[in-house]
Structure 1
Amino acid sequence: MRYRDPGWDLDWDLKWEKGHCLNTLGHTKWQLSRSTLSNPSASVPKAVKRVHEIFEKPTFMKNVNGGDVKQGSLGDCWLMATLTALANVEGGIERTCVEYDTRIGIYGFVFYRDGEWIYSIIDDKLYLKSPCWDSPSMQRDLLQQIDREDVERVYRKTYQTGSKALFFAQCKDQNETWVPLLEKAYAKAHGDFASLAGGWIGEGLEDLSGGVTTELLTSDILDVDGFWDNELSKVNEEFLFGCSTGLLDGGYGERDGISEGHAYVIMEARTLKSGERLIKLRNPWGKIRKGVWEGAWADGSKEWTMEVQEELGHHFGNDSVFWINYDDFLRKYQHIDRTRLFRDPAWRCAQRWIGVEVPWKSQFNEKFQIKLSKDGPLCLVLSQLDTRYFKGLQGQYVFRIHFRIHERGRPGAEDYIVRSHGNYLMDRSVSIELPDMPAGEYSIFMSVTGERDTSLPSVEDVVKRECRKRVENDKLVQIGSAYDLAHSKGTAHLEEVARLRKLKDQQRASESRQKERRKLWERRHLNREITKKQTKKNNEKRDRRKAKAEEEAKKKAEEEAKKAAEAKKKEEEDTPQKKEAEKPKDQAVQTDAVKEEPKEGKPDEAETGSSEGSEKSSEEAKEKTASDDKSKDGAEGDPKAESKKDTADEKPVAQPAPAPPPAQKAYDSDGDSSDSPVEDWEELYSDDDMVRKPRLAPAGPPKTREERYESDEEGLPDPWNAICIVGVRVYSMDEDLEVRVVMEGGELLEGGMGKKGEADLDNAQVNAGGEREKLEADSTAEDAKIETAKMQDMAASETVAEGKEDVKECDKRENDDATKEVNEDSKSEGSVDSDRSANTDKTVDSTEYDKMDSGTSTPEVIATPEPTPLETNKELC
């Protein structure tokens, strides 16, 4: 059984009119239908056959020749020029086909894609221009009009035999098959044939040889003689060249026979005995007298002589091959793709791939570091993904990349060693080549510029569109798998960036919580101190009232004792009168009779005196009772007060009590609290605290999307979300070559882009905007901050050594304070217990709070990050 490729079967795809092997995702270049397949003028493949059915005596790579390549019905002249250039290198084409079996019909090719070699296995089925005999066609109708018995054999011999019957690329040799089979394998690697339409010779040479391409403009060549001696003269040995013209002018005409916007390949560079420098070029069209040079040294021109023809081995009439003078070449051709070949086995290659979140404004950021252990040549390439492999899902963004090489530790814009040569046309990669790079450590600063075309569909839109039919979409699965595979190169780096960002966010959150808890702790601590002061002041006021009450009670007691003494003395004076009143009645009668007349004259005065005495006694008794009640609390437990009370109780009931003085207030305020220490309480509040304004009206129903967003926002594109997968490849002859990815362990600048670098000195925007002086000022201030931080670190290290002795004591105080704080937090901040007032002199060190409320107790949060390698804020992986 012959091999049939189940995943890329051209015959099945054509008969069922799917077109997955022909057209890209979302774009139909060849419309397959009954009408187009039967229409002889329709430019679509009409049939599919195997190699043994097409060629009479098929051969595969029997005679590989660059002049054997001929372009088909696909606009892949860049690929045909690539095959032509590589065919001129010994073993160049043979190395792309690692294994094959013509009898079974299986071929295995390898291509270099995104920094690695991939394989593409195909069968031997090829597209044909004409339909099969059994299918209706105009050619069959014409042949049937001829009265012959072998009409079908003539049809096949005429329309379906040899290289001329193939729809796509072919060999000039009618039995050679390596060109169409290699083109088919390359198309399968990219998903379909339509993906090969349009491209650059340099990119094709990179894919087939694994070399490094540099874009050159002939107007930028400094030394044309040096370029000839050092590069063009080494064509097919160290370098391969492709050239084109008219690309920068947007024309598709001719320049003395040279087609504009078309790819040509340099096959040979020779210096004649006369000193004339000539270049041999080829047009991959493979057509006679079309798209070839018509000036000096063209076929049949006067410059040719028999001696020159013999010296160059040139024959007139070669298809699409011509010679041109070096000066005319530089004058007519504008664009050159130069590809360096690494044919020396001493070359070593190291590469790394990362994902970059592209900002709106591009800046240089350190992303890679390389280490060389010895001097030698160096070639460095910075490339992005080849979108040709997942055409249709490339999205809206287009990226351009640049880089600079600095000595490690010297990121200044004026300190770079070399920078990449900016490409105008090829945007897949940029490169630099150094003939002798000293050993050492170097940093690569990279800049990615993104442009967005909103007229193109995004990846999400394409997926939605293709899934709208809700049927199995094999083409979407194929291109989607290639898209996922390509972007998986940066997945590890993006995940690492996300992990570091999450860790940094957790650290920020932990620090924020610590600051907030510390602020609350300080406020509670300050509240306790103020409350203690207030309690102390209240107690002092209570003591003053108590002392004042005792003094007043003492004065009252003295006054009462004095009054009691006076009353006793008066009583003693009144005792003789009572004795006289007890004399014989007759004497009393006589006496009364004698004294009756004078007493009768003042009856009102006696009555008034007795009345006033009784009222005075009652008032004194009331005042005494009130004063005793009021001074009972203040004088309770006082022996003097108790003795006075006993003395008062021992007085005779008949004896009227002396009148006490008017009662006085013992308090100077309604409560026991003293005036608040306003200055201390104000420290609890700050003007920076956010105060929520009262809501004037209840919240209404939730707003709709139209109400939440202004009408100006409607119809705008989605937010900027550009991610570019970038890889660096370093070629050197150093066996100990190392390439590292710079991951910043501290603050992630520009979304994980790494340490910022200065803009180029010749950056027009920076120079016009005056940002150069600003950058210099910022760098000076940054240096000052670094020096200050170093001094603080030295001082902190000395303080740490002194503070180790107090660790145990702090731990003990921490536990005591934690228990105390829990008990105090359960109570109101305004209420104060009498036991708490006893600890007014006891304070808590704030460092203990930091230990108790550190973020280490929170799951998945790291309060203190681990030190990074080499004591720097960067992490190397």
Structure 2
Amino acid sequence: MSALECSSSDSDDNNNPAPPLRGAKSKSKKKRSLPPQETINKIWSRFSASRFSKATVILPQISGSSQTVAPSNPRPNNLLVSEDFERAVLECRTRVRKLIKECKRVNMRYRDPDFDIDWDLKWEKGHCLNGLVDPKFEISRHAFESPTSMVPKAVKRVHEIFNKPTFLKEKISPADVMQGNLGNCWLMASLTALANMEVGIQRICVEYDTKIGIYGFVFHRDGEWIISIIDDKLYLKSPDWDSPSVQRHLLEQIDREDVEKEYRMTYQTGSQALFFAHCRDQNETWLPLLEKAYAKAHGDYAALSGGWIGEGLEDLTGGVTTELLTSDILDTDEFWDNEILKVNKEFLFGCSTGLLDGGYGSRDGITEGHAYVIMDARNLSTGERLVKLRNPWGKGKKGNWEGPWSDGSKEFTPEAQRELSHKFGNDSVFWISFEDLLRKYQHFDRTRLFMDSAGWRVTQKWISVEVPWHAKFEEKFQIILTKESPVVLVLSQLDDRYFNGLQGQYRFRLQFRLHEADSPGEEDYIVRSHGNYLMERSVVTELKSLRAGTYSVSVMVAADRDINMPSVEDIVKEQCQQKVDNDKLAQVGMAYDFAHSKGTAHMESRATARRAQEKREAREARIAIRRKNWEKRHLTRDIIRKQEKKNREKRELKQSKDAARAREKEEKGPKDAAVQTEDVKEVIEKEGQEGQDAQTEAPPKPATELETQSLNGNGQGVQTDNMSTSFIESQGTPETPKSGLNTPPSHITIPIHYQGGPPAPEPPYRSRQSKDSSTQRYPRSLPQHSRYITSDGESSASPISDSDDMYSDNDSTLKPRPVNSQTSTANKKVKESDEDEPEPWNAVCIVGLRVYSKDEGLEVKDFEEGIDDLVKIDEKKEEEDGMDGTDADVEDHGDGKDGEDDEVVNEKKMDVAGK
């Protein structure tokens, strides 16, 4: 069946046939193209969201677990850095000791209900290994049987894996750090740097009980210290004896007394049996347990794949990291004296190469795209400046420097070896000259430490920022410094690693500038943040001294959008539609909710402010419209008064002329009056006879557009012809009748009008009568009861309504038109055609400003703080002024006699509304 036949068939079914040719023509009609500028304006209007918004709650009905519950007491600001850390340590110890008592009470080892890797692996869930999307480890029974598959095969407790387990030694060696089957070299390098410090690892391993198998750690995240409590279960490379495996099959071929025991000792004992990171010492356990606690804090192990040393050092120490490019260092000697030589005291350093160019080869033994950590720096007696580095792989000489001052090189004389206390070996530790360090490594992560406190205090504030498509600087924060102090400013966004999978389509890059409060000019700033190439989580700037005063911080957030990435709502919808358990979505959703709770209050205040602003703008618009209509109404009244005066003068003049003509008729005598009466009667009788003959000879005609129907006293329709219209027109209006003709002929029917006034002539035009109604429509006529009453009591059929019609914006005489069905259909088609348009730009970033100083009175505020109070004050003021935004704001209290009083009253109200 052709398209034309389909169209015809559909029309027949609907009992409303449509001309097919016209429909075909309309389908083939080409859409009218807009001018270039209008087209561009239309694109931008659709591209930008009218209201920026962001999902802040994923699981409103699910309570948080122990690791994601927000603290009951809000975190106080301007605390000593050491005091803030001790507060988190005390809370962690309290919770761990409480759990230890519980375990002793029931005679059970501790099992972590929020991160049970044993149950998760046995049931092949993989939630502790993989993220919400794109699983890194394919968990299946076939993977357990295959010895080459890169997936954990079993889970055991520490006492089942190690013969003599030791959690922490008195002296932790950085050489103990060994990376496992996960691309988290950045974290291993950070732990190496921390282990190189005197009490670095012991500082974050807060409370533990090796017998019960419970360990409590603290990590720094999003500006505060968090707690992570785990049990002692760890992943193994080889499956259990009960599972089918190649290893078991091989051992069963050998004659042994206890083959199962031999299997356990060979494949499931010691650090070498662990799947992820492990210590070089076969009985040391701090590294795999700390890695597990860090993985739990971020949701799963896969979340640790890929990162930057600086971010890891921030999370482990609570410090502040600055990204440095070798090419940007101005004075290398100052960099050596004031920074590199202070390693492990004021700074920690990580370094890497080949990141910006995407290279993953080797530079004289140094692996590109890999993280190294600076462990020490020395000035030799011979004047050489040497730096000690370590490769976190910890596996032989792979990835180690092979140039001057490497192990076994000619530069390493016995004297230098004794001075550096260095031993050659396969511990992945090597020395390199400072010049070669700058030449071979392109990228440095410098982390400033606040561990010794030295009077450092920290204050922070989190807000939400609506990111436009074209980024620009905007004032967002205010800093009040009461005394001169060194200052470290950190602008950071949420760490999306611990709600991996719900990042959305936008990636944000941060910048900020510090201004004096009285000099907010665009280029008149004190200092600006150091832009980062790779680290997007935060930007930093440091000032050795800043005098007391008030300062403003202008923030610029630039966003990049990847439309191929799923949005947050898409991920949630997909996860809900899958017929699987929702444990992973619940876990990631709770982490997402906890993270975004930092900006929820600010977003709500912004929404409140936006609503208040929209309310004020709408109210001002209504007042402006009412002011315009008020002026139009009073102007119309003035025009009507003038017209009334002219009409009154005309009537008086006409009445005087009629009186004069009447006197003249009386003077002519009865003879002339009788003759005139006879002539008139003859004319009327003749016209009546002609009308009767016409009705007899011709059948009745249907009413034309100028012919209407009227109602007689019984409510029945009486037809009127053109003669009645011509008769009324010839006799004038009821107010000014022709002299001598006070009544129409008997066959002329006069329409019935409202009571209380003389009949008015029908308008010269009428709307077409509908088939289903017997009433008439007068589009521009005025009802009799709405006639304007002048000050002298006269009535006037003014074409302008005094109240309702004045509120029309376009024409004071037009009523609102009914909705056209064709217009709504056209709008629906336009809407359907717009469904292919891209989603509008809607980027919202939650950022926090963290300020470190030595000022006890430091305050950090955002420029929109206190907006709720301003809104309440504004609403209270509106109530006091009586301006509630209703139509009564600009109301006419006049009596219609004189516009002066009305004008005075309304001008007073307009002055109040304009404030």
Please say whether Structure 1 and Structure 2 have the same fold, judged by a TM-score greater than 0.5.
yes
Structure 1 residue 136: Cα displacement: 2.1
151-160 or 113-122, larger mean C-alpha shift: 151-160
Structure 1 residues 249, 65: closer, same or farther in 2, change over 3 A? Answer: same
Task: Tell me what 1:48 maps to.
Answer: 155
Q: Indicate the SS of the match to 2:142.
A: helix
The question of 1:28 aligning with 2:28 is answered no
The residue number in structure 1 matching 2:830 is: 708
2:193 corresponds to 1:85: yes
Provide, for residues 247-279 of structure 1, a one-character-per-residue CA deviation record: whole Å limited to 9, x for no partner: 111111100000000000000011011111000
Q: Whole-Å Cα distance in 1 between the matches of residues 819 and 620 of structure 2? A: 37
Q: Compute the displacement of 1:441 (Å).
A: 0.7
Counterpart-to-counterpart distance in 2, 1:617 and 1:139: 145
Contact map agreement 1:538 1:674 (CA 8 A) in 2: no
Q: SS where residue 592 of structure 2 aligns?
A: helix
SS at match of 1:510: helix
Tell me which amino acid in the other structure corresponds to 1:247: L
SS of residue in 1 equivalent to 2:244: coil
Q: What is the 5 A alignment of 1:78-157?
A: 78-157=186-265
Q: What is the identity, as a one-letter code, of the residue corresponding to 1:699? A: S
**In structure 1, C-alpha distance between the alignment counterparts of 2:404 and 2:889, rounded to whole Å:** 98
Separation in 2, partners of 1:44, 1:477:
24
- In 1, Cα distance between equivalents of 2:735 and 2:308: 95
**Paired AA for residue 489 in structure 1:** K
**Any conservation in 1 of the 2:144–2:152 contact (CA below 8 Å)?**
yes
1:296 paired with 2:404, answer: yes
- Matches of 1:450 and 1:65, distance apart in 2: 42
Q: 5 Å matches for 1:360-399?
A: 360-399=469-508
SS at match of 2:156: strand
1:719 is aligned to 2:844: no
For the residues of structure 2 that align with 1:68 and 1:617, how far apart are their CA atoms?
Answer: 142
* Higher mean C-alpha deviation, range 107-116 or range 457-466: 457-466
Using the alignment, how far apart are the partners of 2:274 and 2:865 within structure 1? 56
Q: 1:341 aligns with which of 428, 445, 449?
A: 449
- 1:517-562 CA-to-partner distances (Å, cap 9, x unmatched) read 22222222222222222223333344445666778899999xx8xx
Q: Residue 640 of structure 2 contacts residue 798 of structure 2 at CA under 8 Å; is this kept in 1?
A: no
**SS at 1:268's partner residue?**
strand
- Normalized against structure 1, the TM-score is what? 0.72
Cα deviations across residues 261-310 of structure 1 (Å, max 9, x unaligned)?
A: 00000000110111110000000000111110000000000111222111
Report what 1:401 is aligned to: 510
- CA shift, 1:816, in A, is 14
1:507 touches 1:864 (CA, 8 Å); kept in 2?
no
The correspondence of residues 476-495 of structure 1 with structure 2, limited to 5 A, is 476-495=585-604
TM-superposition CA deviations, 1:9-42 (whole Å, max 9, x none): 1111111111010011121211111111011111
Indicate the residue corresponding to 2:335 in structure 1.
227
Helix, strand or coil at the partner of 1:379: strand
- Whether 2:563 is the aligned partner of 1:454: answer yes
Mind listing any 5+ residue stretches in structure 2 that lack a counterpart? 1-107, 679-730, 737-793, 872-880, 882-887
**Which residue, out of 818, 838, 848, partners 2:905?**
848
- Change beyond 3 A, Cα 1:620–1:139: closer
Provide the C-alpha distance between the structure 2 equivalents of 1:625 and 1:152, rounded to a whole number of angstroms: 141
Amino acid paired to 1:237: K
Q: How far 1:339 moved relative to its partner? A: 0.4
Counterparts of 1:531 and 1:702, CA distance in 2: 39
Q: Percent identity?
A: 63
Write the letter of the residue equivalent to 2:367: S
Distance in 2, Cα, partners of 1:289 & 1:246: 20
| SS at 2:863 equivalent | strand
Tell me the distance in 2 between the aligned counterparts of 1:493 and 1:244.
38
Matches within 5 A, 1:219-258: 219-258=327-366
| Counterparts of 1:528 and 1:210, CA distance in 2 | 76
Q: Following superposition of structure 1 onto structure 2, how do residues 793-804 of structure 1 map, counting pairs within 5 Å?
A: none
The equivalent of 2:821 in structure 1 is 699
Between the aligned partners of 1:127 and 1:815, the Cα distance in structure 2 is 73
The residue that corresponds to 2:389 in the other structure is 281
Deviation at 1:318, TM superposition (A): 4.4
Q: Please name the residue that 2:96 is paired with.
A: none
Q: Gapped runs of 5+ residues in structure 1?
A: 561-615, 627-666, 747-751, 753-806, 808-813, 825-838, 856-862, 866-877
Distance in 2 between residues matched to 1:503 and 1:701, nearest whole Å: 34
Q: Which residue of 1 aligns with 2:432?
A: 324
Distance in 2 of aligned mates of 1:864 and 1:670? 48
Asked if the contact 2:479/2:552 (under 8 Å) is kept, the reply is yes
Residue 861 of structure 2 aligns with which residue? 740
SS in 1 for 2:635: helix
Q: Distance in 1 between matches of 2:545 and 2:455?
A: 15
Counterpart AA for 1:526: L
Q: CA deviation at 1:817?
A: 8.6
Comparing 701-710 with 282-291, greater Cα deviation is found at 701-710
- Code of the aligned partner of 1:187: A
Q: How has the CA–CA distance of structure 1 residues 164 and 692 changed in structure 2, closer, same or farther, with 3 Å as cutoff?
A: farther
For the residues of structure 2 that align with 1:182 and 1:156, how far apart are their CA atoms?
A: 24
Q: Is the 8 A contact 2:596 2:846 kept in 1?
A: yes
Kept in 1: contact 2:489–2:542 (CA 8 A): yes
Please tell me the residue identity of whatever aligns with 1:285.
W
Give the aligned residue type for 2:550: E
**Partners of 1:8 and 1:21 within 8 A in 2:** yes
Q: What is the one-letter code of the residue matched to 1:366?
A: E
Counterpart among 192, 196, 200 of residue 308 in structure 2: 200
Once residues 536 and 735 of structure 1 are traced to their aligned partners in structure 2, the CA distance between those partners, rounded to angstroms, is 81
Give yes or no for contact 1:817–1:844 (8 Å, CA) kept in 2: no
**Alignment correspondent of 1:268:** 376
Please give the per-residue CA displacement for 1:77-118, whole angstroms capped at 9, x wherever unaligned. Answer: 000000011112222211212211111111111111111111
Is the contact between residue 454 and residue 717 of structure 1 (CA under 8 Å) also seen in structure 2?
no
- 1:527 and 1:701 map into 2 onto residues whose CA distance is 33
The structure-2 alpha-carbon separation of the partners of 1:240 and 1:705, relative to structure 1 and needing over 3 Å to count, comes to farther
Question: Counterparts of 1:706 and 1:513 in 2: how far apart (Å)?
Answer: 29
**Equivalents in 2 of 1:677, 1:51: separation in Å?**
98
- The equivalent residue for 1:499 is 608
Q: Deviations over 1:338-391 (max 9, x none)?
A: 000112241111111111121111111100010111111110011111111111
Map 1:619-658 onto structure 2 (within 5 A).
619=671
**What does the per-residue CA deviation read over 1:409-434, in whole Å, with 9 as the maximum and x for residues that have no partner?**
32222201111111111111111001
Superposed, 1:418-497 pairs within 5 Å as: 418-497=527-606
Partner of residue 852, structure 2: 731
CA change 1:846–1:418 in 2 (3 A) is: farther
Q: SS at 1:296's partner residue?
A: coil
TM-score by length of 2: 0.69
Change (3 A) 1:324 1:337: same
Separation in 2, partners of 1:854, 1:478 = 57
Contact 2:309 / 2:371 at 8 angstroms: preserved in 1?
A: yes
Residue matched to 1:574: none
2:174 aligned residue: 66
The residue that corresponds to 1:508 in the other structure is 617
Q: CA deviation at 1:157?
A: 1.7
- Larger CA Rg, structure 1 vs 2: 1
| SS of 2:900 mapped into structure 1 | coil
Match of 1:168 in 2: 276
**Structure 1 position 620, deviation (Å):** 7.3
